[in-house]
Amino acid sequence: MELIEHLGLGLATAITWANLLYCLIGVFVGTLIGVLPGLGPTATIAMLLPVTFALPPISALIMLAGIYYGSQYGGSTTSILVNIPGEAASVVTCLDGYQMARQGRAGVALTTAAIGSFFAGTFATFLIAFFAPGLSAMALKFGPAEYFSLMVLGLVAATVLAQGSLLHAIGMVVLGLLLGLVGTDVTSGAQRFTFDIPQLADGIGFVVVAMGMFGLTEITRNLEREGSRSIIAKITSLMPTKEDWKRMVAPILRGTIIGSAVGILPGSGSILGSFAAYSVEKKVSKNSAQFGKGAIEGVAAPEAANNAGAQTSFIPMLTLGIPSNPVMALMVGAMIIQGIQPGPSVITEQPALFWGIIVSMWIGNLFLVILNLPLIGIWVRMIMIPYRLLYPAILVFCCIGVFSLKNTEADVYFMALFGALGYLFSKLDCEPAPMLLAFILGPLMEEYLRRAMLLSRGSPWVFVQRPISAVLLGLAVLAMLAVLLPSFSKTREEAFRE
Amino acid sequence: MIRGTKDFWTGLIYIFFGLSALIIGRNYPMGTAIKMGPSYFPTVLGGLLILIGIISLVRSFLKTGTPIGRFTFKGLALVVVSTVLFGLIVRGAGLVIALPVLVLVSASASREFRWVPSLLMAAGLTLFCIAVFLKGLGIPLPILGSWFGG
C-alpha cells in the first residue's frame, strides 16, 4: 500500500542521526518552554527562526515542530504542580491536575498526562499520514477564488475561536491585514505605507511582529502581577492504580478525537480542543461530580486533546499551505525562508520533507514520553527559577535574534513598538493571535483576490459561483452566526472564563 | 457616561488606523475591480476598520464592559526603553556594554530587583551570548563597538 511506502520514506528521512538529534533538541526545548510560564512556542519559534537558516530544511522543520508539540507536554507539568498553566492550552489541566497534586497524586497526574499525550500524538500522526495526500490532491484543484475563501474561513475561524470580544478580534484581523500590506506591492511595484523608510521596503518582518507581540508583550504582562509561586515539589509514586488505568482509557480516546478534529480547524490549534474535551468529558463521565476536585478524567481528556490538536494543526499547513494558528504561520515563514513554497505541491515535490516531518512527529512523541517522566526533577527545578531572572534573558535572546534577521537596528525598534502595541491591545481585550495570522495572510489574500477578480473579469460573484469557494464562505458565515447566537456565546464566554 | 472603557479606546484606535490607511492610501492609484491598484485592498480594509471602530465606540456608551485592570506603566516603559536602548548602542558600544544595559534596565522593572544577582546575570548572559551567537553562529555584532574603535 502506498501509505507504507510513504511512511518508509519518512522513516528513512527521520532516523538519520542528525534529524534524530534535532528532533530531540526540539522536543527538549519545547518541554522546557512549556514548563516555564511566560515563554510560549510562538515567541520561541520566532526566536529560533534565524538559527534555522543555517540548518537543512528538513532538520529545521523537524526541530521547530518538536518545539510546538513538546510545549504541550511541558505545559501540563506546571499546571499540575504549580496551578499555573505553562501553556495556554494547559489551563484546563490546572483544574483537576493541581487538585490531584494536592492529594498527593501529582505523579499519577503527570503520568496520565504523558500517556494521554502519547496516545493522542500517535493517533494524530496516523491521521495526518492517512488524509494528507487526499487533501493535497483535492487542493490542487483550487483556484485563486478557492484560496481566497479558504483564507477568509481561516481568519473568521480565528476570530470565532479567539478569546476576548468578537468585534475586537475582527478588528484585529483587519488591522493585521493592513499591516501586512506595508511594503512594496509586488504587482504594481508601489511602495505602500513605507513613509520612505528603506527598512520598510520589504514590509515589516513577521518574526519582528511575532517576537514583539508574543515575546515582549508577554513579559510586560507578567510584570503586572509578580508573586511567588508555591510548588508541590514532593512527588511520590508515578504509577497509576488499576482503577486509574480503567478510568483514563475512555477520556483519552474521546479527548484524542475531539482534539484532532478541532485542531484541523483554522484558528485554534490546541487550546479549544482541550476546553472542548474537558467540557464533553464532564458531561459524559460517571464521575462528573469529582471534576474540579481531582478527577483523573479531567487530566486525561484535555491533555490528549491538546496534543492531538497540536499535531493535526499541521494538516492545513502541510497540505494547503494555509496556517491555522500563529505557530503554523511561523512554520510557513520558515519554509519560505528555506526556499520551499508551502502548498499542495509540497507533498509531491518534496516527499522526503513531507513524510520525514510526519514520522518525526511520532518519534518526537516517543522521546517526550521517555523524557518527561524521569526528568521530572529537572523540570521542577526549572519552575523554581524566579521570573525576575528569566525575563531579561528572554529579552536578550529576542533582541539579538531580531537583529540578526537583517542586521538592522530598525527591526529592534519595530519589535519594541509591537511589544508596546501588543500590551496595549491585550489590556483592551484584543487578541494578538488573529492579528498575526492576518498579518501573514494579508499579502497572499490580496494576491488571490486580484487574480480571482482578473479571471472573473471584475465580477465579485465568482466567490459564490464556484462550488468549493461557496462552501468555504458558507462555513465562514455559519461560524460567525453561531458565535452571535446568544446560547453559543455564553458557552464560549464560560469556557474562556474557566 | 462611557460604560465600556475597553470598547471606547479600541474604537478610537481602530478608527485611527482605518483613517490613516484611507488617507495615506489616497496617494496610490485605486485601479478598478478587474485590475486592482495598490490602493484598492487597503482602502476596503481601512473602511472596514473604521466601521468596526465606530461600532465599538457606540457600544462603549451602551454596554458596560469589564474595567481595564492593572496597567503597568513602569514595566511597559522599561521593557520598551531597554530594547530601544539596545538598538541604539549595540553597534556603537558593542555587546559588552549593550547587553548589560539591556539586562539591568529591564530587570529593574521587577519589584524584586536586586543589584548583585542582576549584575551577575548580566555578566553571565553577555559571556553566553558572545560565545554562542558571535563565535558559534557568527552573527555580525561587535563585542566592543565602533565608538571604541572595535
Residue bearing the bigger pLDDT, A265 or A251:
A251
Position A1 scores a pLDDT of 65
Distance from CA of B144 to the nearest CA of A (A): 15
Position A53 scores a pLDDT of 80
Would you say the pTM of this structure is higher than 0.95?
no
Chain A: residue whose CA lies nearest to B125: A393
Spatial CA neighbour of A113 closest among A255, A214, A324: A255
Position A412 scores a pLDDT of 93
Contact partners, residue A223, CB within 8 Å, separation at least 6: A391, B72, B74, B75, B79, B109, B110
Q: Which residues of A touch B139 (CB under 8 A)?
A: 400, 403-404
Alpha helices in A338-386 (DSSP H): 346-349, 351-372, 376-383
> B20-70 pLDDT, tens per residue?
999 988 888 888 777 778 888 889 999 999 999 999 999 888 888 788 878
**What total number of domains does chain A contain?**
1
> B92-113 pLDDT, tens per residue?
888 888 999 999 999 888 888 8
Distance from CA of B29 to the nearest CA of A (A): 9
Mean pLDDT of the residues in chain A: 83
pLDDT at A405 over 70: yes
Q: How confident is the model at residue A130 (pLDDT cuts 50, 70, 90)?
A: confident
Position B46 scores a pLDDT of 93
Which of the residue ranges A11-25, A78-92, A423-437 would you say has the lowest mean pLDDT? A78-92
Asked if A171 and B113 come within 8 Å (Cβ–Cβ), the reply is no
Mutate to test the interface with A, among B5, B14, B62, B104 (most CBs of A within 10 A): B14
| Mean pLDDT confidence for A223-228 | 70
Position A493 scores a pLDDT of 55
Position A149 scores a pLDDT of 87
Highest averaged pLDDT of the listed ranges A78-82, A465-469, B43-47: B43-47
Spatial CA neighbour of A452 closest among A435, A434, A473: A473
Position A423 scores a pLDDT of 92
Mutate to test the interface with B, among A179, A186, A427, A430 (most CBs of B within 10 A): A427
> A407-433 pLDDT, tens per residue?
888 999 999 999 999 999 988 888 888
> What SS3 class is residue A187?
coil
Asked if A412 and B87 come within 8 Å (Cβ–Cβ), the reply is yes
pLDDT at A228 over 70: no
Asked if A54 and B137 come within 8 Å (Cβ–Cβ), the reply is yes
- Residue ranges of E strands in A109-221: 183-184, 191-192
Q: Count other Cβ atoms within 10 Å, centred on residue B59.
A: 19
Residues forming a β-bridge with A183: A192
> A196-216 pLDDT, tens per residue?
788 888 888 888 888 888 888
Contact partners, residue A306, CB within 8 Å, separation at least 6: A72, A75, A87, A89, A90, A117, A259, A270, A271, A273, A274
Q: How confident is the model at residue A176 (pLDDT cuts 50, 70, 90)?
A: very high
Which of the residue ranges A66-80, A389-403, B134-148 would you say has the lowest mean pLDDT? B134-148
Q: Which residues of A touch B74 (CB under 8 A)?
A: 223
Angstrom distance (rounded) from CA B8 to CA B11? 5
Chain A: residue whose CA lies nearest to B33: A458
A428 → closest Cβ in B10, B42, B74 = B10
Chain B: residue whose CA lies nearest to A55: B137
Structural contact between residues A329 and A46, judged by C-beta atoms closer than 8 angstroms = no
In chain A, % of residues over pLDDT 90: 11
Cα torsion through A90, A95, A101, A103, rounded to 10: -170
Angstrom distance (rounded) from CA A85 to CA A38? 10
Asked if B139 and A404 come within 8 Å (Cβ–Cβ), the reply is yes
Q: Which residues of A touch B121 (CB under 8 A)?
A: 389, 392-393
pLDDT at A2 over 90: no
ipTM of the complex: 0.90
Q: How many Cβ pairs closer than 8 A exist between chain A and B? A: 189
Residue bearing the bigger pLDDT, A498 or A7:
A7
Which of the residue ranges A283-297, B65-79, B92-106 would you say has the lowest mean pLDDT? A283-297
Position A229 scores a pLDDT of 60
Distance from CA of B79 to the nearest CA of A (A): 7
| Mean pLDDT confidence for A277-305 | 84
Could you tell me the three cell numbers for B127? 559571556
Residue bearing the bigger pLDDT, A415 or A83:
A415
Asked if B21 and A458 come within 8 Å (Cβ–Cβ), the reply is no
pLDDT at A175 over 90: yes
Domain that holds residue A423: 2-497
Q: How confident is the model at residue A179 (pLDDT cuts 50, 70, 90)?
A: very high
Q: How confident is the model at residue A498 (pLDDT cuts 50, 70, 90)?
A: very low
A413 → closest Cβ in B53, B59, B87 = B87
pLDDT at A327 over 90: no
Residue bearing the bigger pLDDT, A352 or A288:
A352
Distance from CA of A323 to the nearest CA of B (A): 21
Q: Which long-range contacts (CB under 8 A, 24 or more apart) does A458-466 make?
A: A458/B32, A458/B33, A458/B34, A460/B33, A462/A145, A463/A145, A463/A148, A463/A149, A466/A143, A466/A145, A466/A146
Spatial CA neighbour of B136 closest among A390, A335, A50, A398: A50
